[in-house]
């Protein structure tokens, strides 16, 4: 029987909490939680966080609701949602806003030099 590692264990937390794991997978996760204090503590945090809203959310949402939502979003967005965006994806926008700020500053300076002290905005 293959065991789960830390990353796999934490990925299984929400399915385990929703009782969606098969008996084998649940047993493997429980095995890991017994032997690994890091994941056990992480699961306790997870459990407490969900337990705080559990009385409300856990009873209102049908089982597998969250997974269904994620699945549907993935399907509709064809993998664009939740995709990790690298620095290169964001950089152009930040560069663009910097350029615009620079442009506005340049216009202001040019107007000030043309009419020092008498800048009138339309």
- Nearer to Zn ion among residue 21 and residue 111 (C-beta): 21
- Nearer to Zn ion among residue 7 and residue 56 (C-beta): 7
- If one asks whether residue 6 binds Zn ion (CB under 5 A), the answer comes out as yes
Which 3 state secondary structure label does DSSP give 72?
helix
Region 37-96 residues binding Zn ion, contact defined as CB under 5 A: 38-39
Q: Per residue in 25-63, is it b (16+ CB within 10 Å) or e — as a string?
A: eeebbeebbeebeebeebbeebeeeeeeeeeeeeeeeee
Question: How many chain residues interact with Zn ion (CB under 5 A)?
Answer: 4
For the CB of residue 53, give the shortest distance to Zn ion in the complex, in Å: 25
Region 29-48 residues binding Zn ion, contact defined as CB under 5 A: 36, 38-39
Pair 65, 35: CB distance under 8 Å: no
List interacting residues with Zn ion (CB under 5 A): 6, 36, 38-39
């Amino acid at each position: 029987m293959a065991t789960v590692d830390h990353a796999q264990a934490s990925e299984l937390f929400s399915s385990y909490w929703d009782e969606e794991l098969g008996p084998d997978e649940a047993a493997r996760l429980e095995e890991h939680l017994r032997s690994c204090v890091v994941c056990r503590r992480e699961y306790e945090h997870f459990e407490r966080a969900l337990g705080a809203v559990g009385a409300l959310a856990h009873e209102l949402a049908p089982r597998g609701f969250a997974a269904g939502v994620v699945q549907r979003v993935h399907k509709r967005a064809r993998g664009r949602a939740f995709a990790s965006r690298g620095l290169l994806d964001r950089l152009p926008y930040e560069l663009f806003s910097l350029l615009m700020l620079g442009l506005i500053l340049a216009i202001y300076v040019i107007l000030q030099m043309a009419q020092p002290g008498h800048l009138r905005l339309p």
